[in-house]
Amino acid sequence: MRLALAFVFAVAAVLPARAEPNFAGAVERVITDVIGPGYQALASAAEDQSQAMQALCDAPSESALETARDRFEAVVLAWSAVELIRFGPAREDNRFEKLFYWPDRKGRGLKQVQAILATQDETARAADRLRGKSVAVQGLPALEFVLQGTGAEELATGAPYRCAYGKAIAAVVAANAEALRRGWSEDGAFARSMRDAGGVNTPYQSHAEAVQDFMRAATEQLQVVRDLKIGASIGDTPEKAKPKRAPFWRSGLTLAAIMANLRGVEAMMSVGLDDLLPDEHARYAGAVAFELKQAKNTLDALIADGGPWLDVAAETEGHQKLSYVMIPLAGATRVIAENYPAALGLTLGFNSLDGD
């Protein structure tokens, strides 16, 4: 027995100690290569949208309206790529909800937007006053209704109040997008607090805690896509589908926005977090990549078909494909939520979507 123990200790002495994952490096990569550029793209797209709304209001025309709608698409896709970042600056001043008030389960936000348009509420014409109103009337869903909802065609020939309201929304969206960009910039307070994790007066005791937030963000985004954007919209059967529960169906951007959501998760994992896995667990990165690829391939096929979301979600073939997409999304969620933390000695803990 003594000889056996001596052999074990001798082997242990010559084996290299398992290296601590470079959590600080992962935090830096995610901030520098994913979040920072993502919010820069959002801020730029939102500013372009604001200028397009100004041009539309100054000189209404079919081409000006088309340009404003094209700029809206760019903002939606840029937002969807960073939508998974639900913490930090996104939580300050309710910026997340101000940009993306969704889900609107009882249609209360839509009713508020419609009421503003019906009454031509003067307090909603200027961005500085609009900021003080409900979060439901100053973000992307509200702007979508202005540009694509009932009566939107009037913008091409002149709808002064509707255009002024849309211009105000676009200005508020641009201001909130810029605030998010600043918060995650190199000199941004929140980005600095993550980089300085473990220091004095920082919300993170370690870089590992910051990485846990990134992983939680990825799993929550996949859960939102699977359960809320797809599952709640298509129901168990085509007959039970309620496709209008999904975001951006009026503008035809539902599937494209979901694809951007998945690319955001993919970037978070591949750029920042996959390299943390020790060699014996590297297969988890491949598993997540495989599952996301299956989901994206199916969504790509649906997008290529060109059918409107309302039909895709409620017709048999589209319903079957969307139902399939939920399977690999569940698989990717499980690997990130369970296998990654176990391999890295982390605990994801509280999920901000619990109880929804």
By the 8 A CB rule, do 236 and 320 touch? no
Residue 134 near residue 112 (C-beta atoms within 8 A): yes
Provide the pLDDT for residue 104: 95
**Confidence (pLDDT) at 6:** 43
How do residues 267-320 score in pLDDT, each as one tens digit? 999 999 999 999 999 999 999 999 999 999 999 999 999 999 999 999 999 999
pLDDT tens readout for residues 81-137: 999 999 999 999 999 999 999 999 899 999 999 999 999 999 999 999 999 999 999
Q: Which of 55, 57, 100, 54 is nearest to 77 (CA)?
A: 100
Residues 133-158, mean pLDDT to the nearest whole number: 98
DSSP 262: H
Is 261:268 a contact under the CB 8 Å cutoff? no
Q: Where are the beta strands (DSSP E) in 71-137?
A: none
Residues 192-200: what's their mean pLDDT? 92
* Length in residues, the chain: 356
Identify whether the C-beta of residue 50 lies closer than 8 Å to the C-beta of residue 173.
Answer: yes
Compute CA 247 distance to the chain's CA centroid, rounded to the nearest angstrom: 12
**Residue 85 to residue 217: CA distance in whole angstroms:** 6
Q: Which amino acid is at 341?
A: P
Supply the pLDDT for residue 349.
Answer: 67
The band of 2, judged by pLDDT with boundaries at 50, 70 and 90, is very low
Contact criterion met (CB below 8 Å) for 23 and 208: yes
DSSP assignment of 35-92 equals IHHHHHHHHHHHHHHHHHHHHHHHS--HHHHHHHHHHHHHHHHHHHHHTT--SGGGTG
Domains and CATH numbers, the chain: 23-195 (1.20.1420.20), 207-344 (1.20.120)
Structure tokens at 180: 């998010």
Q: What is the pLDDT of residues 201-248, one digit of tens each?
A: 789 999 999 999 999 999 999 999 999 999 999 999 999 999 999 999
Residue 105 confidence (pLDDT): 87
Query: For 123, which DSSP code?
Result: G
HSE (CB half, 13 Å, CA atoms) of 211? Answer: 28
Q: Is 132 helix (H, G, I), strand (E, B) or coil?
A: coil
Cβ contacts of 85-92, under 8 Å, gap ≥ 24: 85/35, 85/38, 85/217, 86/217, 86/220, 86/352, 87/213, 87/217, 88/183, 88/184, 88/190, 89/179, 89/180, 89/182, 89/183, 89/184, 89/188, 89/190, 90/180, 92/179, 92/183
159-186 pLDDT, tens digit each: 999 999 999 999 999 999 999 999 999 8
Q: 62-82 vs 254-267: helix axis angle to the nearest 10?
A: 40
Neighbours of 130 (CB within 10 A): 22
Q: Which residues contact 229 (CB under 8 A, 6 or more apart)?
A: 246, 247, 254, 258, 261
| Per-residue pLDDT band at 350 (split at 50, 70, 90) | low
How far is Cα 153 from Cα 174, in angstroms, rounded to an integer?
24
pLDDT of residue 347: 86
Token pair of 178, please?
A: 């810029």
The dihedral formed by the CA atoms of 147, 150, 152 and 153, expressed in degrees to the nearest 10: 140
**Stretch 33-39: mean pLDDT:** 97
